[in-house]
Amino acid sequence: MEFLVGPTLRQMLKEKGSLPPPRALEILDGIVAAVEAAHRRRIVHRDLKPENVILACGDAGEVPKVLDFGLARLLPTGEASEHETATCAVVGTPRYMAPEQLTGGGADPSWDLWGLAVMAFEMLTGEHPLEGTGDRDWRGALLAGRRRAARLPMAEMSASLDAFFSRALAAEKESRPQSPAELIRGLREALAGPRAPD
């Protein structure tokens, strides 16, 4: 097993509150690369959260690493039996669960994209997108589609960022980015702010 030294993303957020956009994107690039590698192998992590990301320090510098694949699920292939595809148990950390995960749907890569979006929101704003103090509050806010506005010091950037999170944290998974690459690309565009008219 690889020996890793460095803080978790949760520890960093507790210390700093929020991160400047370039720093947040740098970390997210590493997380996205790990999630894409898992999805290529048909693996859904099912519990992406700051506690499960370590910012490993080594000779090559800092490398974000995704940990704890204990709840990961191998997606079925076309030949899988009905028994092998039974994936409806509700597992994960409620504050990082997509609506369809929270209601017991079958494992889906969209669950990991939701977790990525929640972590991105936290890194940039210093807040969790869902309001409330307990699982019942978060569940109600999640299923009702209520979330905090994404605010940054620059008003124009906040507007484009909030529009991005309206898509990334939409109640319907079809409205969200469909891959980690699409999610990080949309976030970069949002952080670049609105385009000047031609």
Provide the H-helix boundaries in the chain. 9-16, 21-40, 99-102, 109-125, 135-144, 155-168, 180-191
Contacts with 13 (C-beta within 8 Å, 6 or more apart), sequence order: 19, 50, 122, 123, 126
Strands 53-58 and 73-74, bridge-based pairing: unpaired
59 labelled catalytic: no
- Residue 58 sits at φ, ψ, to 5 deg, of -155, -170
Q: What angle do CA 20, 139, 137 make, to 5 degrees?
A: 80
Instruction: Classify 66 as helix, strand or coil.
Output: strand
Tell me how far apart the alpha carbons of residues 99 and 46 are, in angstroms, rounded to a whole number.
13
Query: The tokens 């694949």 sit on which residue?
Result: 69
Task: Return the biggest CA–CA distance within the chain.
Answer: 56
User: Which one of 47, 59, 112, 198 is the catalytic residue?
Assistant: 47
Residues assigned a catalytic role:
47
